[in-house]
Amino acid sequence: MNILLCGADGFLGRAIAAALEAAGHRVLRGVHHPRLAGDVVIDYQTDLSPEAWLPRLAGVDVVINAIGILREPQPGDFERIHHRAPAALFAACAAAGVGRVIQISALGGEFQGEPPHYLASKHAADRVLWQSLPERGVVLRPGLVFGRDGASTRFFLALASLPLHADPAGAGAVQPVHVDDVAAAVLRLVEGAAVPSGLLELPGPRRLSYAGWLASYRSGLGLPPALSLPLPGFLMAATARLAGLFPASLLTADTWAMLKAGNTADPGPARSLLGRPLKAPADFIVPDDTEALRLQALAAWRRPLLRAVLAAIWLLTALLSFGVYPLENSLALLAPFGISGAAALALLYGASLLDLAMAALTVWRPGRRLWLAQLALVGGYTALIAWKLPEFLLHPFGPVLKNLAVAALLFILYAEEDKS
């Protein structure tokens, strides 16, 4: 069959395309940025009328809409990308006589008020499909999809790899499903599997608490159990709002609302469709992938943590020198170098400004040259102290010896940095 797969370059789209092609079907890749011969160029932000879609449907037997965004790059993108563009596509499919249309939607829980914009826009398109193609349209609502190439998978694997897990109060249960099962279900629907209601919910086989979900992923990474820290719901909500200010964050007020509502359903219909058990979370990470995924998960938070600690060290050192530490004591430390008076003040405040600059650069302009400069600066400070203030080398609290830890931190950042 000829299948137009919209979103063929996305996480789900790639898995679905591979399953369809392995079964002998011809996949027409609907993509925003073409890279292969025969790619069908689509733009869900502008293709908002049936007329825009009709020319693309000539000779097409099945259409699959696998496009979705978790965050809006621009206000109104949920409405355009999840609702209006699919609605135009479905109307064109009805006019062109496309045999089957499959809408990849999203499983969602019960909400006391209005559902988040992500789910509301997805489910609005679901209703349009049922109205436009009541006999030929099928909505597939997978749960939280696991796949090593998925952005949400990488995010939750990184959370799972942390040695301390925040357990937010109020988080609902989840049933994560493997991407291979989603692709297999789409293949069965393409090949005519009956779904009398026009809706197939596709959760995973096991119902897990939030803590159990992360623990399952952590076990799959080959890591020992993590410590758990109960987190009040109001604090989690505030964290989600704060994280939502950063464009790359997958934690937002909407995603927290969806986690609170839960993500569960009866896996029986999907199991019947596939004719086999669904893959359990304990089997998501195969042994051959364990080490690579563990290293990837640890790397996701290691560098940001090291940079944050380093920036805090430089910032606090600057603030201490600017006056938090008694000025006369700071000047006394310069006396063994033969520096006093105005020169001592200038040197003290100049060094403080340098430390402050290092803190700012660590946050906004990291790079290999910066790490080398900071290594040189730490080494210079240490050498001067050893020369004129050797008592600090022998101090039982080891204030200078701790520079070894800072040097090691900088060495790791330098080794892992991909920018000059």
Residue where one domain finishes, among candidates 235, 254, 285: 285
Residue 130 falls inside a structural domain: yes
Amino acid 335 reads A
Is 297 contained in some domain? no
Q: In terms of domains, do 264 and 360 share one?
A: no
Q: Do the beta carbons of residue 254 and residue 118 sit within 8 Å?
A: yes
Residue 120 lies in a domain: yes
How far is Cα 6 from Cα 9, in angstroms, rounded to an integer?
9
Residue 307: both structure tokens together: 């940079």
Distances (CA, A) of 402 to 146, 170, 348: 41, 41, 21
Does 90 lie in the same domain as 177? yes
Give me the tens of pLDDT residue by residue for the chain, a chain 420 residues long. Answer: 999 999 999 999 999 999 999 999 999 999 999 988 889 999 999 999 999 999 999 999 999 999 999 888 888 999 999 999 999 999 999 999 999 999 999 998 777 778 899 999 999 999 999 999 998 999 999 999 999 989 999 999 999 999 999 999 999 999 999 999 999 999 999 998 888 889 999 999 999 999 999 999 999 999 999 999 999 999 999 999 999 888 888 899 999 999 999 999 999 999 999 999 999 999 999 999 999 999 999 999 999 999 999 999 999 999 998 888 999 999 999 999 999 999 999 999 999 999 999 999 999 999 999 999 999 999 999 999 999 999 998 888 888 999 999 999 999 999 999 888
In a domain, 293, yes or no: no
78 and 107 housed in the same domain: yes
**What 3-state class would DSSP assign to 21?**
helix
**CA-to-CA dists, residue 342 to 186, 280, 346, angstroms:** 76, 70, 6
Domain finish residue from 257, 285, 313: 285
Total domains in the chain come to: 2
Residue 290 placed within a domain: no
Residues 94 and 27 in one domain: yes
Residues 264 and 307 in one domain: no
Residues 152 and 119 in one domain: yes
Which range of residues forms the domain containing residue 306? 302-416
Question: Which SS3 state, helix, strand or coil, does residue 50 take?
Answer: helix
Whether residue 91 sits in one domain with residue 44: yes
Statement to judge: residues 281 and 308 lie in one domain: no
What's 38's domain CATH number?
Answer: 3.40.50.720
Distance CA 51, CA 46 (A): 12
Tell me, yes or no, whether 164 lies in a domain: yes
Domain match, 193 and 97 both = yes
Structural domain includes residue 315: yes
Instruction: Pull the structure tokens for residue 285.
Output: 């990470």
User: Model's pTM, two decimal places?
Assistant: 0.89
Same domain, 377 and 258: no
Write down which residue in 256, 285, 314 finishes a domain: 285
Do 321 and 385 reside in the same domain of the chain?
A: yes
Please report whether residue 296 resides in a domain. no
d(CA 6, CA 52): 14
pLDDT at 113: 73
Are both 344 and 265 inside the same structural domain?
no
